[in-house]
Amino acid sequence: MQNVFVPWCLRGQWASIAALLLVGWLGAAQAQDVPAVQAAAPERRDALRATIEAAKREGVVSYWDVVIQPETNDALVAAFRKHYGLPTGFTVRYTLSVTTNLITRVEQEVGAGNVTIDVASIASPPWINGLVAAGHVMKYESPEYPAFALAFEAGLGKPGYFAFNGAYTFIPMWSGDHRGDFQGKSYRDVLGAVPPGRISLNDSTKSATALLTYMGLRQVLGIDYFRDLAKMKPLFIVRSEATAERLVSGEDLMAFGGMPTRAYQMNERGARLKLMFPDEGLVLLGQGSFILAKAPHPNAAMLWLDFTLSERGQTILAQREALFSGRSGLKPPLPDYAPPINQLKLIKMDWNAITTEDLNKAKAEWLSLFNP
């Protein structure tokens, strides 16, 4: 074979051309990557690509939630598929539940060893901590967890196991159309503000988050306050949507535990619901989001958890559900309904110290007061 002589003057040009071709090839490869891979740290990209391919093979993720409405789910799913380059045939099975039903379902599934839920979200840190201790929550270090460091410090999450995808609260709410003259700023102002039988109260026997809220308010208001509240003969409600609807219709004139999320959603449709952020403070309920240890679609579950905790996912949840975000640096899009957490007066709750015995004792006390 003959040797090919390349003049020295051309060798530099060939080297430059080869370098340009290599850069172009790398750029094209990067351009073909889905948005999630492009945004990931270089050292994570290969692992993320593998997780995405595994999730595609699983073809589905199932999650249960107690807040997210169908329209918000649709927006999340569309953005989720685009972010990871998932096909339209990839299925997101979404179930909107109440807290007690979600707890019952998860406990039944882990007890039977037949888990169908991949990801669950609920504002009950004591219950989730119990699942973690029993080995029912997957240990997973989400790359989004560092952005939730302050929430972890407040006990609203556990590194390696769960963080909250959004927080909410139950506070006094009324309609400007039916009780527009109410100017209360304290829980004390609620007592006697409307006739007996025209106020609603969250049912602590059927809602884990209502019970936790009662426990927090009990610390600052005292039991005599709730004795006086019981004299107002409240109607007991479980779903926050129903609480808001009854205010809009005028069936109720006051809700002791209205949800800012529902006020925002109703007001977007023309209602005039108003909220009080009480002088005494409020109980912030962080929706802990976690993956079941025996999740049937673990790769898809990791992607879903990461996305809902990401800046894009948190923005969708904050905009559509008026939820408080625990993600550092995220500017609240709806400050009238969900102000920055650091601007709120929070009732301190030692979430890690609350036991099943504490919950049962509080429920028994609540029943003795209200007996729905």
Residue 1 confidence (pLDDT): 44
Label the pairing between strands 254-258 and 171-175: antiparallel
Full DSSP string of 227-247: HHHHTT-PEEE--HHHHHHHH
Q: Which of 102, 125, 101, 66 is nearest to 261 (CA)?
A: 66
Q: Count the neighbouring beta carbons within 10 Å of the beta carbon of residue 277.
A: 15
Strands (DSSP E) contained in the chain are 60-65, 91-96, 119-122, 157-158, 162-168, 171-175, 199-202, 235-237, 254-258, 273-275, 285-291
* Cβ-proximal residues to 188 (8 Å cutoff; 6+ apart), any chain: 225
- Both tokens of 172, joined, read 């006094």
Q: Over the stretch 239-294, which tens digit does the pLDDT of each residue have?
A: 999 999 999 999 999 999 999 999 999 999 999 999 999 999 999 999 999 999 99
Length of the chain as a residue count: 372
174 vs 182: CA distance, rounded Å:
8
Q: Is the confidence at residue 221, as pLDDT, over 90?
A: yes
Q: Over the stretch 306-347, which tens digit does the pLDDT of each residue have?
A: 999 999 999 999 999 999 999 998 999 999 999 988 888 999
Q: Over the stretch 66-102, which tens digit does the pLDDT of each residue have?
A: 999 999 999 999 999 999 999 999 999 999 999 899 9
Q: Is the confidence at residue 142, as pLDDT, over 50?
A: yes
116 vs 370: CA distance, rounded Å:
37
Q: Is the confidence at residue 15, as pLDDT, over 50?
A: no
pTM attached to this predicted model? 0.83
**Average pLDDT value for the chain:** 91
Q: Is the confidence at residue 25, as pLDDT, over 50?
A: no
Q: pLDDT > 90: what percent of the chain?
A: 83
Residue 5 confidence (pLDDT): 46
Residue 31 confidence (pLDDT): 54
Q: Could you tell me if 322 and 338 are in contact, meaning their C-beta atoms sit under 8 angstroms apart?
A: yes
* Cβ-proximal residues to 12 (8 Å cutoff; 6+ apart), any chain: none
Q: Is the confidence at residue 14, as pLDDT, over 70?
A: no
